[in-house]
Structure 1
Amino acid sequence: MSALRQGVNRATLFCAAAVLLCAGAALATTTDPVRDRLPSGWPRLGADRVWLDEDTLGRWRDHGWWPPVVIAALAVVLLLLLALAVLEIRAGRLRVLTLGRPGVTLAGSALAAAIAERVRAVDGVARAHVRLLGRPRRLRARITLVLTPDGSPRGALRQLAEQAVVEARAAAAPRALEADVRISVQAHRTRRIR
C-alpha cells in the first residue's frame, strides 16, 4: 500500500472517529451519571435542552436554500466514501495481467505460482508463498519465506534478490515490480525419547 493511500485511510478513519467521539461525549453529558462525574469547569449540555425551538424552526423554514445544500453536501460525502471503498477493493490481489498483444493475458495467480516455484529453489528455503498485489502498471509481490533451521537469512535474501526477483521483474517488464519479503524460520522439531 502506498504512503499516500495509507495517509488518506488514516486521515479518514481519524476524522470519522473524532466526529463520533465528540458527538457521543456531548450527548453523554446530558445524562445525570456522566454529568455528576465531570469536573466543574467542563462544558456540559443541559438535560432539558431543546435543540430546535419553534422560533428557530420558523426562521429555518423561511429560508428554502438550506435543504438542497445539506442534501448535496451529504451526497458529496457519500460519493467520496464510495470512491474510497472502490479504490480499496481494486487495489487488492492482481487478477489478470495484460501482455504485449491485445487479448493476450496472464493470470496473476499463475505468475505468482511461477515466482513461488523459483523462490522455493533458493538454498535454505523450506516453504514460500507469493501474492501479487497492486495495479497492472505497478505490481507488488508479497513474498513470505520460511527458512530451514540451518538456513541463512542473509544468503537466502541475497539469492532471492539476485535470481527470483530479477527474473520476476524481467517477466513483468515494462511494468515496475516491487518486492516485499517477510522471513521466518522453521522451528526445530523436538525429538521424543522413549
Structure 2
Amino acid sequence: MSRSTVNRVLLGVVAVLLLAAGVLVLAGGLDLYARLGLDVPDGWPLTSPDQPVVSAGSRTRWADESWWWPAVIAGLALVVAGTAWWLLAQLRRSGPATIVLPTPGASGLRLRLRTRALAEALETGTVVLPEVERVSVRLLRGPRRQRLRLRAVVRLTPGGDPAELVEHFETGPCGNARSSLGLADLPAELRIRVQTAKPAAAPRGGGRRRRPRVE
C-alpha cells in the first residue's frame, strides 16, 4: 500500500469520527431528540442541552482502579508515537531530489538534474503517444539506494491498446531517459488504466425504436 493511500485512509477515518462527534454534539445541543420525538437508547451521549458531554460517572468510573492511569498514559504514549511516526514518514522522500548527469570529456564538471524536471519531461514525451489521455510519472529509489527506477501511471482513451503503449513507452520516453542519463538500464513500473466508453444516450421521448417495415 502506497503512502498516499495510507494518508487518504487515515484522513477518511479521522473525518468520519469528527463528523460523527460533531453530529452528536449538535443534536444534543439543539435538543433535536426531544423536538423530533426520538427515543434514544440508554447510555446515549449528550441527549439534551443540560447534559455534559462526558458525565461525572463516566469520568470517575475507573479512577480508583490500579490499572486505569497506567492504561491512560500508555494509550496517550501510543498516540504520540504514532503521530510522530506519521509525521516523519511525510518528511521522508521516496526518491532522490537530484540526479548527477554524466559529463564525458569534461573532467571536474558536475551537472545535477532535478528529478521533478526529468519526470515532467517523461510525462511530456508520454502524453503525446497515441491514445494516451493522462500520465503521471515519479522517480523512486530502487532496492539499492543508488539505483533509480521510475513509476508511471497512464490512462488510455476508450479502446486504447496497452501492448502498443508499452512498446512506444519503452522505445520512446524511457529509452530517451536512459540515453540522457547514461544508464544501461532504467527499471520502470508502468500502470495502465483504460477508460471505459460512456454508454450512448437514450433517444428522447423514452419510447422504443420502431423497426422499419419491409414490404
Q: Which residue number corresponds to residue 146 of structure 2?
A: none
Does the CA-based 8 Å contact 2:100-2:111 persist in structure 1?
Answer: yes
**How does the TM-score come out when normalised to structure 2?**
0.50
The partner residue of 1:97 within 91, 96, 99 is 99
Deviation per CA, 1:103-146, whole angstroms, max 9, x where unpaired? 87543255446647866997x89xxx98642423231246799x
Does the CA-based 8 Å contact 1:140-1:177 persist in structure 2?
Answer: yes
Matched, 1:163 2:171: yes
Match of 2:81, as an amino acid?
A: V
Change (3 A) 1:159 1:81: closer
Q: Which residue number corresponds to residue 45 of structure 1?
A: 46
C-alpha separation between the residues in 1 aligned to 2:101 and 2:155? 26
C-alpha separation between the residues in 2 aligned to 1:130 and 1:26? 43
C-alpha separation between the residues in 2 aligned to 1:121 and 1:62? 69
Of Structure 1 and Structure 2, which has the larger fraction of its residues in helix? 1
Alignment of 1:164-179 (within 5 A): 164-168=172-176, 170-171=178-179, 173-179=184-190
Q: Secondary structure at the match of 2:51?
A: coil
Match of 2:47, as an amino acid?
A: G
Q: Which has the higher contact order (CA 8 A, sep 6+)?
A: 1
Unaligned ranges ≥5, structure 1: 146-152, 183-194
Taking every aligned residue pair, what percent have the same amino acid on both sides? 20
Deviation per CA, 1:10-60, whole angstroms, max 9, x where unpaired? 321232122212222322232234322373356452333342538954962
Q: Which residue number corresponds to residue 141 of structure 2?
A: 136
C-alpha separation between the residues in 1 aligned to 2:16 and 2:73? 26
Does the CA-based 8 Å contact 2:135-2:153 persist in structure 1?
Answer: yes
Kindly name which structure, 1 or 2, has the bigger radius of gyration based on alpha carbons: 2
Q: Secondary structure at the match of 1:60?
A: coil
Q: Which residue number corresponds to residue 69 of structure 1?
A: 74
Compute the displacement of 1:67 (Å).
Answer: 5.2
Unaligned ranges ≥5, structure 2: 103-109, 143-148, 194-215
Change (3 A) 1:26 1:160: same
Q: Secondary structure at the match of 2:63?
A: helix
Aligned length: 171
Q: Secondary structure at the match of 1:29?
A: helix
Q: Secondary structure at the match of 2:38?
A: coil
Instruction: State which drifts further: 163-172 or 17-26.
Output: 163-172
C-alpha separation between the residues in 1 aligned to 2:10 and 2:58? 37
Does the CA-based 8 Å contact 1:115-1:130 persist in structure 2?
Answer: no
